[in-house]
Structure 1
Amino acid sequence: MRKNLFDAPAVDEIIARAQRLQATAPARWGTMNATEMLYHCNLANRQILDGDMEHKPSTLKQELLRFLSFYIVPKFPKNRKGAARNDTKGRISPDQFDAQLRLFIRTVSSFAHHKKPFVLTHPAFGNLDTRQWGVAAWMHMDHHLRQFGV
């Protein structure tokens, strides 16, 4: 299984990479700037940690996609559209970079201290257990940090 944001060393790695991110870093793919990316990650992570996702049965398609993403395909695909509520393009000023980076670090740090089990349905992967949520969150953060070369 992959790295997991519920493990302190994985959290430390993500934070160290985020601290190398520059507000002016160009995206290697996609249309978000660095501030929009941090805002996007902060929204997604808060939804996980706050349990702000609907719980419903997984479909076969979601189970297959989860298996492929967690065990076969090494990285999330580039330029894939996410949930509309997490679309941050044009919704935050680039001068909010420092505030969003501080929030990112604080939010990612809280994963390692979270003890409550999750009962949430990921929009693409269906129902995930707590460990799987940690893996999905790590993969998501890794994806976007690689997007900006860190």
Structure 2
Amino acid sequence: AAVTGTVDVEPLLLFAIIFFWTPPHFWALALFRSDDYARAGIPMLPNVAGPDATRLQILLYTIVLIAVAAAPWALGYFDAVYGIVSLILGAGMLALAINVYVRRERSQSLRATRKLFAFSILYLFALFATLLAEVVFRALAPMVGGA
């Protein structure tokens, strides 16, 4: 958007991916660090709305994230490689979010939230690395094909 001077769908989709990725990522952290946030007086969602409401929000945002992350492929901006990677990563993210939603016992809950938090970092990195790889491949393909 800064380069072209216009706001197109592509940068909005990238923004939306990060926007919907952020809550599950940070709320997973907030769930397993809720005691620390409470002691510090920081009003994170688990301390304000409770852990069950936080688990539900993580699950709902993850569902929306999967759809938004697949949108660049569904709308034809990226190829099947991105689409497949997006869906595989989304399935992993959803499985972990469901696990966070289901696991309510303290030790299982902490383990589930840590796994989701860690995977969410990998998720965003892999998703954007795949986007970058497709853009680089598109730029290099005419040079390689023409040689």
Instruction: Give the structure-2-normalised TM-score.
Output: 0.29
Larger radius of gyration: 2
Q: Which has the higher helix share?
A: 2
RCO higher in structure (CA 8 A, sep ≥6): 1
Instruction: Give the structure-1-normalised TM-score.
Output: 0.29
